[in-house]
Structure 1
Amino acid sequence: MEFELDHLFIWTDVGAYEAERLVSFDLVEGTSNTHPGQGTTNRRFFFHNAMLELLWVHDPEEAKSELIRPTRLWERWENRNHGVCPFGICLRPALSGSNTVAFSSWAYHPPYLPKTMSIEVGKNSDVLTEPWLFQTPFGKRPDRYPVEKSQPLDHGIGLREITRLELVSPAANEPSPELQAVVDTKQIKLRLGTEYCVELGFDGEVLGKQVDFRPQLPLVMSW
């Protein structure tokens, strides 16, 4: 079974002012959405095959509620600048609607989804030095969204598809079985580094260009 990168999220300050750096880089921002009952809100940037999400907690009480507590989302956001991995990585099956999951997981039923739908969360969700891993069986490429959910995909800088996601992590030498399983799908690479960072490569990186959004965002883009 093959898997694809659905989206990457980065924890940010409330309001994700960090997104302005991406806008000034000539990326076109898509719509924002809120996750009722989970206590989180985002700002989003869509590419043809995947999405970049800047995420924050807007309602601590919801994020710390009994239903949401097992996700550890509150602790991850609160400690994003204090040794906790500030990323989440979402996969989707290449064959839409498949129930096969890339890693050992548990079913998360967030309040904002219909009761019959769930998100599969990696069993490493308590390992706060690793990304929050999850998979959506209903995920689609943004360029295949239905018309009523379509998002802007044409960016002034010309980036089209994410072709590399490399996670730089102080904990890269001892990945959990779940993180190793994601690496084994070939959708992400893992590299040891002193600080957390994600490198996103676009369109095969044939132009040899790069922009570093640190320190505002732990993000480097190459194309």
Structure 2
Amino acid sequence: MEIDHVFICVRDHQQAADAMKSLGLSEGTPNVHPGQGTANRRFFFHNAFIELLHLTDEAQAQSPLTAPTRLFERLTCTDGVVSPFGICFRPCADNQAPTFTTWDYRPTYLPAGLKVDVGTACVSEPMWFFLSFAKRPDQAPAARAQPLEHRNEFHEITSVNVSSPHCHGASTAANSANLVDGFKLTQGEEHLITLEIDHGLHHRTHDFRPLLPMIINW
């Protein structure tokens, strides 16, 4: 497996997206998730992307289909316990399966035959999931190509570190994720995601807090 993308649950997607664009990132196309009650803003790199996920319909997000994903809790809770993050993996070889136990989530916005493999874990951990059909952004066909060039000349996400105040006794999904190259879940004082771009060659950093629980190092 390898990292496909990360999501961060946000309340004000416009402010969050503007903050990322202010750093020099080019925004890709947004998505709406009919039936799931969510939409997103996306920022693509050659190998992965960042998704800002926000709530659009409370009833849909709490429907029998969507409720087991616990997305509603991630999008609305402010108690400091629920993780606002999701980590998506994809195969790095043909026919590769997720290395953690999953259940099938088949949202209505996906074409028939496709599914999201969701890992079993408590909501204090990130949402772990796997997309068997996902590819690197720089391998997308021309019709679905996204902007990969940024004013700050970022190219690739080279590591992802997620800290959590509640990762004692981590799930088997978390343990599997920690074996993926470039990813680490660690104990911390707050929910925070730290992304390294291009191996941190420029020794620079930007802290998006308190607007976003994210630090980018490049």
Post-superposition CA distance 1:66-108 (Å, at most 9, x none): 1111111111211155421010000000025x25112110011
From the superposition, tell whether residues 186 and 40 of structure 1 become closer, same or farther in structure 2 (CA, over 3 Å).
same
Structure 2 gap segments, 5+ residues each: none
* 1:61 equivalent in alignment to 2:59: yes
Q: Please, what TM-score do these two structures have when normalized by structure 1?
A: 0.94
* Aligned twin of 2:26: 28
Structure 1 gap segments, 5+ residues each: none
* 1:168 equivalent in alignment to 2:166: no
* 1:194 equivalent in alignment to 2:192: no
Deviates more, 1:115-124 or 1:85-94: 115-124
* Aligned twin of 1:111: 108
Match of 1:49 among 37, 47, 50: 47
Kindly, what percent of the aligned residue pairs are identical? 41
RMSD (Å), alpha carbons = 1.3
User: What's the CA shift for 1:61?
Assistant: 0.8
CA contact (8 A) 2:80 2:191 kept: no
Give the partner amino acid of 1:104. Answer: T
SS in 1 for 2:35: coil
User: What's the CA shift for 1:174?
Assistant: 2.4
Structure 1's consecutive aligned runs of 4 or more residues displaced over 3 angstroms after TM superposition are: none
From the superposition, tell whether residues 80 and 118 of structure 1 become closer, same or farther in structure 2 (CA, over 3 Å).
farther
Aligned positions, number = 218
From the superposition, tell whether residues 105 and 80 of structure 1 become closer, same or farther in structure 2 (CA, over 3 Å).
farther
CA contact (8 A) 1:14 1:58 kept: no
Q: Please, what TM-score do these two structures have when normalized by structure 2?
A: 0.96
Alignment partners' CA distance in 2, 1:34 and 1:14 = 16
SS in 2 for 1:18: helix
CA contact (8 A) 2:62 2:72 kept: yes
* Aligned twin of 1:73: 71
* Aligned twin of 1:7: 5
